[in-house]
């Protein structure tokens, strides 16, 4: 292995796998990245044995080859190098990093011991736009419980749906029991295999980082147990979560008694400000839905109280509802829309929030009982 | 109490005391700040009973008065308010914060229970430039041990010295046993009381923050047990540390065998890069002092090794020395000078580092034994 790469491209290469490698693995090889010098590029691969990422970067390769090097350490080295060309050479299982005046000789593991990129028997293959996929993740991933082993809840459920005007879309659905979120984007291709799969949270987080690359299309392939996301310069492979996502459609309210329109930024600021006093165990805010405004308030035993009006237009009768403000904050801040619509029933019925001007995202927040 | 203040000034006022207040105090009043509305200004005071800070901010006051409010909470509230004017009114021991559409009512404690600003019987009063004082702290504070109760070491020692050309200067000296640093700046006024005092680390840290204000002069007053630092818009009062700083002058080398000049940034970058492999308990780097370069290197059992040359001009014989790179990094990064001078003796003699072009700072770093 012998190649030249620019320092900033080397930093990007090593940065791309930092979220995948295990920092404190008992299995030493899982702390490493596999560097492969191939025709005109440096490929960096990392795996935690569930999730595998390969990232491709332009390089001048004069001898092909592979090296297995501690990923976090090599990232630190790369970041601190002088700008300009970096020369990487493998010598007796040591990676020599030469970027004068800096010079490193870093011990690796045998590259042949590195896990192979897992094979996948794809029964479905589809293509989506990367901007749409980015939004899909942003609008749902926060509602996947962090440490929840409840069967079927610990992942994002991807399925195929048909939009009202007949467009084929992938829909990603997540829930933590108090919220349910979905977001959709059009796809082309075939969605087989019972038409759904459950994606681990970590895979969605790494997919989201990958989508910051300036590329237009992502190919999604999946089989019974695994899926891959492929872009021009990166490929992510993930095992699917075992389990069946709950039959969430029964939770979606069919009707509503009240409907209101609100400016998203005004609502977000009000929630942020009032949340400073919503410090009880449920982070309780009271929302008085009035004909021309929401009056959002909270009261804490220690400090005091906050009140904040937000202008709205309302169809239906006024009502008083209670919410966990943190749940609402996530929902309101994940979108980029100007105007939101909320559909309400009775005080303890699920509250539906969605962007006013598009039909491809929907959020349900459960109210809490006020004392 | 009734006043108007701009939101950004209110944020600055509350920000200024966050480092002083105790976040988890059993004594509730020490988590609070005392707000005083006086002629044309809002004064914010905080204390941890050792250290007291008063910060003054322009406000339109229509009724004078005082309020004792949880400092961290009020800072959070201030930061999240809309930009524009903020109206603060005291109503029945509640501070009403009105910045439409945001409205808070925050419970306070009786302001008369707040500790009074401590009196000081000053025997010395002097005046220094704020830029010089800033440098004084930056070039020394890092060497005060964080959790060291060794008698006399747990503070910065301020004393009066005379420069080679007869200028009166304050000198701040710190040491942690492995390093000794001092920095000087001219003063006017009288330095009485045996000509020294020992300042707590936290006082120096808060003083440094205070010096970011655009002011020119600082008055330092001190007596047997306390000192104050006064600027136009802030005053800091601190108890002095009991104890006697070590007789550090005996440590200062009188002669040297080797003298070298080096570019500070080049040295800093070399240390940063090599430090990534200096991960043993002593963070050991080897420095080979050669006629035209330092060759800095480190080797770690797990990862590998780093080598980094730095051009120098040397008077004296080549030598090999070992250092804890972290100790050296602090010293080299605290200065802003272009060129440094190092004066060396034998391999285990103290190493003196100082700026080439000024005589008002000096750093001693102890070498370590190489295996």
Give the nearest partner residue to B104 out of A82, A107, A304, using CB atoms: A304
- Strand A179-190 relative to strand A168-175, pairing: antiparallel
- Burial category of A36 from C-beta neighbours within 10 Å (exposed 0-12, middle 13-18, buried 19 and up): buried
pLDDT at A301 over 80: yes
Q: Closest Cα to residue B14, out of B50, B61, B51, B57?
A: B57
Tell me the average pLDDT across B58-65.
98
Same domain, B90 and B193: no
Reply yes or no: is the peptide bond before residue B161 cis, omega within 30 of 0: no
Three-point CA angle A77, A80, A84, nearest 5°: 105
* Mean of the per-residue pLDDT values of chain A: 95
Confidence of residue B148 (pLDDT cuts 50, 70, 90): low
Query: Using an 8 Å Cβ cutoff, are A4 and A96 in contact?
Result: no
Same domain, A106 and A11: yes
Same domain, A242 and A220: yes
Residue B370 lies in a domain: no
Residue of chain B whose Cα is closest to the Cα of A32: B303
Nearest CA to CA, how far is A36 from chain B (Å)? Answer: 19
Q: Which residues contact B37 (CB under 8 A, 6 or more apart)?
A: B1, B2, B3, B43, B59, B61, B63, B64, B65, B66, B88
Q: In angstroms, rounded to a whole number, what is the distance separating the alpha carbons of residues B270 and B285? A: 11
Q: Closest Cα to residue A306, out of A353, A259, A274, A264?
A: A274
B98–A contact, CB cutoff 8 A = no
Residue of chain B whose Cα is closest to the Cα of A310: B101
Summarize pLDDT for A80-92 with one digit per residue, the tens.
999 999 999 999 9
- Burial category of B316 from C-beta neighbours within 10 Å (exposed 0-12, middle 13-18, buried 19 and up): middle
Same domain, A76 and A135: no
The per-residue pLDDT for B195 is 65
Give the nearest partner residue to B106 out of A70, A103, A303, using CB atoms: A303
Query: Using an 8 Å Cβ cutoff, are B120 and B154 in contact?
Result: no
Q: Which residues contact B286 (CB under 8 A, 6 or more apart)?
A: B296, B297, B298, B320, B321, B322, B370
CB burial of B9-39 (b: ≥16 within 10 Å; e: otherwise) equals: bbbbbbebbebbbbeeeeeebbbbbbbbbee
Mutate to test the interface with B, among A7, A68, A94, A273 (most CBs of B within 10 A): A273
pLDDT at B194 over 90: no
* Packing angle of the helix pair B201-210, B130-138 (nearest 10 deg): 140
Residue B371 lies in a domain: no
Q: Which positions in chain B touch A107 (Cβ < 8 Å)?
A: 302-304
Length of chain B: 371
In the block, tokens 């050296």 appear at: B328
Instruction: Indicate the pTM of the whole model.
Output: 0.93
Question: Between chains, do B272 and A80 touch, taking CB under 8 Å as contact?
Answer: yes
Q: Closest Cα to residue A277, out of B58, B104, B216?
A: B104
Give the nearest partner residue to B105 out of A82, A302, A304, using CB atoms: A304
Domain boundary among the residues A64, A87, A113 is at A113
Ramachandran angles phi, psi of A166, nearest 5°: 85, 10
The per-residue pLDDT for A146 is 85
Residue B279 lies in a domain: yes
Residue of chain A whose Cα is closest to the Cα of B269: A80
Residue B148 lies in a domain: yes
Q: Which residues contact A142 (CB under 8 A, 6 or more apart)?
A: A174, A181, A330, A334
Candidate from A143-152, B6-15, B124-133, B167-176 with smallest mean pLDDT: A143-152
Residue B102 lies in a domain: yes
Reply yes or no: is the peptide bond before residue B44 cis, omega within 30 of 0: no
Domain boundary among the residues A90, A113, A136 is at A113
Residue of chain A whose Cα is closest to the Cα of B76: A276
Q: Which positions in chain A touch B82 (Cβ < 8 Å)?
A: 269
| Three-class SS state of B148 | coil
Residue B45 lies in a domain: yes
The gap between the terminal CA atoms of chain A, to the nearest Å, is: 68
Same domain, B80 and B12: yes
Q: In angstroms, rounded to a whole number, what is the distance separating the alpha carbons of residues B227 and A102? A: 47
Query: Using an 8 Å Cβ cutoff, are B277 and B298 in contact?
Result: yes
Query: Using an 8 Å Cβ cutoff, are B337 and B262 in contact?
Result: no
Q: Closest Cα to residue A238, out of A191, A201, A210, A196?
A: A201
Confidence of residue A198 (pLDDT cuts 50, 70, 90): very high
User: By 3-state DSSP, what share of chain A in percent is helix, strand and coil, each rounded to 5?
Assistant: 20, 45, 35
- For the CA atoms of B202, B207, B213, B218, what is the dihedral angle to 10 degrees? 170
Give the nearest partner residue to B304 out of A101, A102, A106, using CB atoms: A106
Same domain, A24 and A108: yes
B304–A contact, CB cutoff 8 A = yes
CB burial of B50-71 (b: ≥16 within 10 Å; e: otherwise) equals: bbbbbbbbebebeeebbbbbbb
Beta-carbon contacts below 8 Å between A and B: 80
Same domain, B345 and B258: yes
Q: Which two tokens stand for residue A276?
A: 């400073």
Query: Using an 8 Å Cβ cutoff, are A113 and A211 in contact?
Result: no
How many domains are there within chain A? 3
* Helices first, then strands: H and E counts in chain A: 6, 25
The per-residue pLDDT for A243 is 85
pLDDT at B303 over 90: no
Tell me the average pLDDT across B283-289.
98
Q: In angstroms, rounded to a whole number, what is the distance separating the alpha carbons of residues A332 and A270? A: 11
The per-residue pLDDT for A86 is 98
Question: Between chains, do A107 and B277 touch, taking CB under 8 Å as contact?
Answer: no
Query: Using an 8 Å Cβ cutoff, are B364 and B346 in contact?
Result: no
**What CATH number is attached to the domain comprising A272?**
3.10.150.10
Same domain, A162 and A266: no
User: Which A residues in the span 63-92 are in contact with B, Cβ-Cβ below 8 Å?
Assistant: 70, 73, 76-77, 80-82
DSSP string over A218-249: EEEEE-SSEEEEE-SSEEEEEEPPPS----GG
Secondary element (H or E) of residue A9:
helix A7-15
The per-residue pLDDT for A122 is 81
Summarize pLDDT for A13-46 with one digit per residue, the tens.
999 999 999 877 678 899 999 999 999 999 999 9
| Three-class SS state of A322 | strand
Same domain, B258 and B241: no
Summarize pLDDT for B102-112 with one digit per residue, the tens.
999 999 999 99
CA B266 to chain centre: 25
Q: Which positions in chain A touch B298 (Cβ < 8 Å)?
A: none
Percent of chain A with pLDDT over 70: 98
Question: Between chains, do B104 and A269 touch, taking CB under 8 Å as contact?
Answer: no
The per-residue pLDDT for A193 is 59
Same domain, B108 and B128: no
CA distances from A256 to A92, A331, B79, B253 (A): 70, 20, 37, 84
| Three-class SS state of B79 | helix
Residue B119 lies in a domain: no
- Burial category of B74 from C-beta neighbours within 10 Å (exposed 0-12, middle 13-18, buried 19 and up): buried
| Three-class SS state of A98 | strand
Residue B103 lies in a domain: yes
The per-residue pLDDT for B196 is 78
Query: Using an 8 Å Cβ cutoff, are B328 and B344 in contact?
Result: no
Candidate from A87-96, A151-160, A219-228, B277-286 with smallest mean pLDDT: A151-160
The per-residue pLDDT for A153 is 77
Query: Using an 8 Å Cβ cutoff, are A179 and A144 in contact?
Result: no
Confidence of residue B193 (pLDDT cuts 50, 70, 90): low
The per-residue pLDDT for A148 is 64
Same domain, A137 and A243: yes
Q: In angstroms, rounded to a whole number, what is the distance separating the alpha carbons of residues B239 and B156? A: 13
- Which domain range does residue A339 map to? 253-365
Q: In angstroms, rounded to a whole number, what is the distance separating the alpha carbons of residues A90 and A5? A: 14
Query: Using an 8 Å Cβ cutoff, are A139 and A361 in contact?
Result: yes
Q: Which positions in chain A touch B106 (Cβ < 8 Å)?
A: 303-304
Domain boundary among the residues A52, A86, A113 is at A113
Nearest CA to CA, how far is B151 from chain A (Å)? Answer: 39
Tell me the average pLDDT across A49-69.
97
Q: In angstroms, rounded to a whole number, what is the distance separating the alpha carbons of residues A167 and A184? A: 11
- For the CA atoms of B244, B247, B249, B255, what is the dihedral angle to 10 degrees? -150
Same domain, B233 and B138: yes
Give the nearest partner residue to A308 out of B94, B101, B306, using CB atoms: B101
The per-residue pLDDT for B23 is 77
Residue of chain A whose Cα is closest to the Cα of B95: A304
Nearest CA to CA, how far is A174 from chain B (Å)? Answer: 30
B305–A contact, CB cutoff 8 A = yes
* Packing angle of the helix pair A325-334, A264-275 (nearest 10 deg): 150
Looking at A133-280, which runs of residues are DSSP E strands? 156-162, 168-175, 179-190, 196-199, 217-222, 226-230, 234-239, 258-263
Neighbours of A57 (CB within 10 A): 18
Tell me the average pLDDT across A40-59.
97
| Three-class SS state of B8 | helix
């Amino acid at each position: 292995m012998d190649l030249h790469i620019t320092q900033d491209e080397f930093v990007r290469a090593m940065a791309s796998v930092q979220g995948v490698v295990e920092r404190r693995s008992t299995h030493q090889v899982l702390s490493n990245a596999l560097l492969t010098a191939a025709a005109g590029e440096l490929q960096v691969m990392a795996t935690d044995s569930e999730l595998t990422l390969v990232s491709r970067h332009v390089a001048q390769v004069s001898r092909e080859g592979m090296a297995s090097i501690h990923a976090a350490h090599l990232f630190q080295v790369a970041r601190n190098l002088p700008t300009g060309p970096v020369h990487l050479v493998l010598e007796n299982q040591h990676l020599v990093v030469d970027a004068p005046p800096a010079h490193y000789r870093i011990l690796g593991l045998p590259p042949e011991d590195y896990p192979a990129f897992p094979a996948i028997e794809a029964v479905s293959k589809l293509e989506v736009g990367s901007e749409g996929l980015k939004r899909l993740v942003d609008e749902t991933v926060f509602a996947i419980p962090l440490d929840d082993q409840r069967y079927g809840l610990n992942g994002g459920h991807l399925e195929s749906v048909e939009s009202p005007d007949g467009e084929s879309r992938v829909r990603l659905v997540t829930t933590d029991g108090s919220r349910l979120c979905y977001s959709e984007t059009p796809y082309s291709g075939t969605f087989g295999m019972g038409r759904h799969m459950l994606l681990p949270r970590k895979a969605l987080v790494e997919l989201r980082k990958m989508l910051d690359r300036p590329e237009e299309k992502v190919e999604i392939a999946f089989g019974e147990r695994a899926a891959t996301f492929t872009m021009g310069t990166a490929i992510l492979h993930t095992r699917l979560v075992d389990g069946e996502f709950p039959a969430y459609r029964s939770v979606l309210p069919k009707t509503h008694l009240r409907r209101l329109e609100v400016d998203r930024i005004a609502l977000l600021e009000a929630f942020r400000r009032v949340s400073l006093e919503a410090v009880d165990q449920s982070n309780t805010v009271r929302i008085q839905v009035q004909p021309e405004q929401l009056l959002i308030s909270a009261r804490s035993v220690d400090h005091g109280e906050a009140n904040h009006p937000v202008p709205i237009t309302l169809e239906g009768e006024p009502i008083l509802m209670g919410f966990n403000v943190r749940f609402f904050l996530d929902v309101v801040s994940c979108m980029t829309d100007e105007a939101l619509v909320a559909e309400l029933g009775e005080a303890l019925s699920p509250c539906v929030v969605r962007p006013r001007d598009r039909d491809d995202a929907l959020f349900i927040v459960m109210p809490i009982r006020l004392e």
